[in-house]
Amino acid sequence: MAEETVLTDDFLRQLINVGEVDILVGLPTHNNARTIEPVIRAIQAGILKCFPRERVVIINADGGSQDGTPELVIRASIDDVWNVSKVYALRTLHSISTRYARNPEPGTALRTILAAADLLRAKACVVVSPDSTTIEPDWLQRLVRPVYNDNFDLVAPIYRRQKFEGVLMRNLLYPMTRAIYGYRVREPYASEFAISGRLATDFLTKETWNAEWGRIGAEICLTITAITGKYRVCQSFLGTKAQPARSASDLVAAMRRTVGALFLSLDSNFPLWSAIADSQPVPTLGAQSEVMLEPVRVNRKRLREMFATGVAQLEPVLRSILSASTLSELQRIAALEVNEFNYPADVWAKTVFEFAASYHKCVISRDHIVQALVPLYRGRTLSFLLENRDGSGQDMEKSVESLCGEFERLKPYLLEVWADRK
Amino acid sequence: MSIKTKCLSRRTKVLSWTPENLLRNGLIAGRRADRYPHCYSIDVGAGGPAIIRDGTRLPLKREAGWYKDAIIYQIHVRTFFDSNSDGIGDFHGLAQKLDYVQELGVNAIWLMPFFSSPLRDDGYDISDYKSVHPSYGTLEDFKTFLSSAHDRGIRVIIEMVANHTSDQHPWFLESRSSQDNPKRDWYVWSDTDTTYRGTRIIFLDTEMSNWAWDPISKSYYWHRFFSHQPDLNYDNPAVCEEMWNVMKFWLELGVDGFRLDAVPYLIEREGTSCENLPETHEVIRELRKKVDDQFPGAILLAEANQWPADLRPYFGNGDEFHMAFHFPLMPRMFMGLRLEDRKPITEILQQTPEIPATCQWCLFLRNHDELTLEMVTDIERDYMYDIYASDKTMRLNLGIRRRLAPLLDNDRRRIELMNGMLMSLPGTPIIYYGDEIGMGDNIYLGDRNGVRTPMQWSGGWNGGFSTADPESLYSPPILNPVYGYQAVNVLSQKRTEHSLLSWMKHIMRIRRSSPVFGAGSIEFLYPANHRVLAYVRQLGKETVLVVNNLSSAAQAVELDLRRYKGNILIEMFGRNIFPRIGDVPYLLTMGPYQFYWFRLRRI
């Protein structure tokens, strides 16, 4: 299943020593020493509390950290040799680390973890983000139990978020994935999730690993593979997700990893998604938590400026991507002042669909297409903030639901531009 | 060549001996018997059994440390062989089966209580310490058995239930008869049942309190076990003296030692747990001194179900017990096997303190009691119950009342692996009767009787145990198609080279071939593969490497053996040679539940 290149000899030796496991906890890292200790502690506590009898291994796929991250992970081992922390455990807990050969790439890290899960015949594989400093020991149970006990194949998380966190998820990834693939998965691109051994094995055989999106957008590919492969998917409420501070350049990278991968998935899955007309809910487990309403400081004026500047400066690019009517509408919106700014849901859905179709047609460089969407997304963000500024959590949920409705309603439009656009 | 014998004294048993027999029984160690065509006899008199050569008493018995190289076979007279067709095993029957015991390869027998008793706790409720229960025969029968065992080089350790008596014992009957009876203070009495409140109740399933009301003397008496087993008062010197008289009685008959039952509970003190008290150790030291002075070489074996650190004091400075059961190790061996993880085993052995050089641990897999889970954590106990006793009928007190084979799902590989560890970990192994052939149990019999069913000698009438009517047996034999005597019995297994019985004989023969197992040091190797338990036993120039695969799947393991570089490994069962140890980790591949014993040799 796994290609040899993913597993170094040393890593393979470590896997031999670990042997067959019930649960594999994957930790993709790259210079996460600052945040990883509470994550490791929570994972270890979660294992000891919720899975004391199961054979569990923590596997760190590291992208070449220089800050001692792997050493911190390895220290979480509980065995009869190194258990200096005197943590009580019924059985040995291996915590091992491998540095994968390539440069830091989330996809390669995930592939390494899944290859290990496949070799160790893990019944459940859970991946945890190394910067989830708010992780609780129970997260492990909430993610793993549905796979381990209830035969689900993919458990996506639902976080308790501040109401203006996860804007990209709420305004693009969720609505579009839902409209395209017909499953209401709130976090189709998750940094924490659990999958079954059989899904891990199946996903490993996909050709996607050799393509760029396999390396940069493997997580969303995994969700799409689960959905398109008719695997049993569910969601589990976790808790508050810490949002790491991000710069403007992070957004571009995030858009590449997520939106780019999502757009790319449409190519190979057209026969499937083109036949899906509506969406169905996904079983959701655990106690739903309220959206947090603490105020967030947002520079609305700057968002509007970035949007307007983008629309103006990228006009030649946008002209090749968007229809004339959509571009015209964007130019109209760009002229609005902050207090009257509104990027309506239907226009946003059309914008995204036209970008997806252009991506499919490769009207220009695909990477440029994704980058060109960034300023437009900022405009949509501003509109979303303004719409929900004074609303409750429920109001915001209604707003997201309404947006999803627009994406689903306009799906025939996507099919139209997908086919027609030259 | 036959050798004449002559009677030397009234207590000297006259026997015919051949030099081959003497050699086989280790009575003339390292010598060719045909060079000693002398007149031999066996003296079973005071000071223990001895062989007499040409009128000279040879110190063939009780050489120092004999118990370290011993393999002990635990037998209940009642369960072994019925010679008079009354449905109950007896000493005459046991003596008849000593050839089997000898062939098995053990060199010591531990006898469960055979004294006069109302048998409300299978003989652990003694009503006369100096007599044999009539069901089992007479004192003369015992003596005959004892000398027959010694003839075969088999030592005999008997039970000494020192903590308590039966409530039918004359001492107790006197003690309860009135508050001013001279024996009143031989037991622990109180006007209230609130004394010693910090003391746990051991038989949780049956007893509500450690105090029982005596309607005759209208006060409470102390009992750590069943209420019909009142505790003796060891603060009373007369009790100590009388118990020594009892022990002396049996030592003079020639027994080789005692297994002292329920040792931690001899003394009570307010505000304590009434366990492991310093005064208890004083009592034991006194007994030990008397044993050493008057019967050198006789041993004391402690039954003290305690954590290793709490057990350590029972060895004292080599002046208390010679041996003690390692209770916490046993459940962890079962745990390690099912977890496929060596951690429970290595951790408890890491916590096991050093003991004086003259002392020894006693190791066992199963015995006449439940598989006790007192010395495990709550999580471990729950795990053990779920894995090994999912049917609650199998549970008793804090333990599991099952035999070895059913506990291991009758999986031959697991039975062999567990016995392999038993024979190779530091200590003297004890085999419970019937486990050498894989006998089953009957969980529908009450208390612990399900693991005390008749020995299965053959597939015939009553499994060859007795010619009595089946209905009259003290206990129904195991009848089910898997473990019943028709499927599991000595006769059929003796005929098969690859039977469990044959294998058990083989492994005991190999263990006996090297003193390293009984007296050697142990050093654990910690291979990264946690499913593999590996250790090196060493004694003098002899080094043995033991590698156990606890997993149900094949495993690869790399062992760091650099310090033994240049040695070749000789597998002790097949005597095959394995590659020489070099600088790189030594790679072994092991089948499911496989284990290796390697003798290291530098050639």
Region of B137 on the Ramachandran plot (φ > 0 left; ψ -120 to 50 alpha; else beta): left
Known catalytic membership, residue B391 = no
Task: Look up residue B494 and give its two tokens.
Answer: 């003796």
From the list A13, A52, A80, the residue facing B526 with the nearest CB is A80
A80 to B342: CB separation less than 8 angstroms, yes or no: yes
Residue whose structure tokens are 């008997």: B158
Lowest mean pLDDT among A244-258, A261-275, A343-357: A244-258
Q: Does domain B170-222 have CATH number 3.90.400.10?
A: yes
A165 belongs to a structural domain = yes
**Superfamily of chain region B520-601:** Golgi alpha-mannosidase II (2.60.40.1180)
* ∠ Cα B144 B149 B150 (to 5°): 100
Residue whose structure tokens are 């129904």: B476
SS3 A125: strand
Residue B350 at interface with chain A, using a CB cutoff of 8 Å: yes
SS3 A190: coil
- pLDDT in the model for residue B530: 95
Average pLDDT, consecutive stretches of 10 residues, N- to C-terminus, chain B (603 residues) = 33 36 38 38 43 44 83 97 98 98 97 95 94 97 97 96 97 95 97 94 90 95 96 97 97 97 94 94 96 96 89 95 95 97 95 94 94 90 94 88 96 98 97 98 92 97 98 96 97 96 98 95 96 97 97 96 96 95 96 98 89
3-state secondary structure A295-342: CCCCCHHHHHHHHHHHHHHCHHHHHHHCCHHHHHHHHHHHCCCHHHCC
Distance in Å, alpha carbon of A18 to nearest chain B alpha carbon = 6
Give how many domains chain A has, as a whole number. Answer: 2
CATH of domain B70-163+237-512: 3.20.20.80
For residues A246 and B519, the model is more confident at B519
A398 belongs to a structural domain = yes
The per-type count for chain A, helices as H runs and strands as E runs, is 20, 8
* Structural contact between residues B294 and B62, judged by C-beta atoms closer than 8 angstroms: no
- This model of the complex carries an ipTM of 0.80
What are the domain boundaries of chain B?
A: 12-58, 70-163+237-512, 170-222, 520-601
From the list B343, B528, B551, the residue facing A91 with the nearest CB is B343
A294 belongs to a structural domain = no
| Test mutation, B338, B341, B376, chain A, max A CBs within 10 A | B341
Buried b (16+ CB within 10 A) or exposed e, B95-124: bebbebbbebbbbbbbbbbbbbbebebbbb
Neighbours of A294 (CB within 10 A): 7
Distance in Å, alpha carbon of A30 to nearest chain B alpha carbon = 26
Do A403 and A312 share a domain, yes or no? yes
Distance in Å, alpha carbon of A78 to nearest chain B alpha carbon = 9
A13 to B344: CB separation less than 8 angstroms, yes or no: no
- pLDDT in the model for residue A207: 73
Beta-bridge partners for A99: A62
Q: Report the share of chain A in percent with pLDDT over 90.
A: 70
Do A104 and A249 share a domain, yes or no? yes
Do A105 and A200 share a domain, yes or no? yes
Is the Cα torsion angle A262, A267, A271, A275 positive or negative in sign? positive
Residue A220 phi, psi dihedral angles, 5° rounding = -70, -30
- pTM value is 0.84
Residue A87 at interface with chain B, using a CB cutoff of 8 Å: no
Lowest mean pLDDT among A103-107, A200-204, B167-171, B257-261: A103-107
Contacting residues of A for B379, CB less than 8 Å apart: 52, 90
pLDDT band at A105 (very low <50, low <70, confident <90, very high): confident
Cα B529 → chain centroid: 33
SS3 B13: strand
Do A31 and A138 share a domain, yes or no? yes
Do A125 and A164 share a domain, yes or no? yes
Residue B528 at interface with chain A, using a CB cutoff of 8 Å: yes
- pLDDT in the model for residue A247: 64
User: Which pLDDT tens digit goes with each residue over A302-318?
Assistant: 999 999 999 999 999 99
Do A122 and A32 share a domain, yes or no? yes
**Averaged pLDDT score across all residues of chain A:** 90
| Test mutation, B530, B533, B589, chain A, max A CBs within 10 A | B530
Distance in Å, alpha carbon of A90 to nearest chain B alpha carbon = 7
Contacting residues of B for A13, CB less than 8 Å apart: 528, 558
| Host domain of residue A122 | 4-285
Do A242 and A128 share a domain, yes or no? yes
H/E element, A155: strand A154-160
Counting one residue from A and one from B, how many pairs have CB atoms under 8 Å apart? 50
A369 belongs to a structural domain = yes
- pLDDT in the model for residue B310: 87
Cα distances (angstroms) measured from residue B278 to each of B230, B263, B284: 21, 12, 10
Residue A136's contacts (CB-CB under 8 Å, 6 or more residues apart) are: A42, A46, A238, A239
User: Which pLDDT tens digit goes with each residue over A149-196?
Assistant: 999 999 999 998 877 888 999 999 999 999 999 999 999 988 899 999
Neighbours of B10 (CB within 10 A): 6
* Structural contact between residues A233 and A194, judged by C-beta atoms closer than 8 angstroms: no
From the list B350, B524, B531, the residue facing A19 with the nearest CB is B531
| Test mutation, A9, A17, A97, chain B, max B CBs within 10 A | A17
* Structural contact between residues A158 and A236, judged by C-beta atoms closer than 8 angstroms: yes
Residue A246 at interface with chain B, using a CB cutoff of 8 Å: no
Do A31 and A140 share a domain, yes or no? yes
Nearest Cα residue to B404 out of B362, B360, B451: B451
* ∠ Cα A95 A100 A105 (to 5°): 110
B343 to A80: CB separation less than 8 angstroms, yes or no: yes
Residue B549 at interface with chain A, using a CB cutoff of 8 Å: no
CATH code for the domain in which residue A100 is found = 3.90.550.10
A107 belongs to a structural domain = yes
Known catalytic membership, residue B303 = yes
Nearest Cα residue to B104 out of B573, B439, B504, B488: B504
Domain end point (choices A233, A256, A285) = A285
The residue annotated as part of the active site, out of B90, B141, B256, B261, is B261
Distance in Å, alpha carbon of B113 to nearest chain A alpha carbon = 37
A91 to B346: CB separation less than 8 angstroms, yes or no: no
Do A135 and A42 share a domain, yes or no? yes
Say yes or no to pLDDT of A4 above 50.
no
* Structural contact between residues B356 and B322, judged by C-beta atoms closer than 8 angstroms: no
Contacting residues of B for A86, CB less than 8 Å apart: none
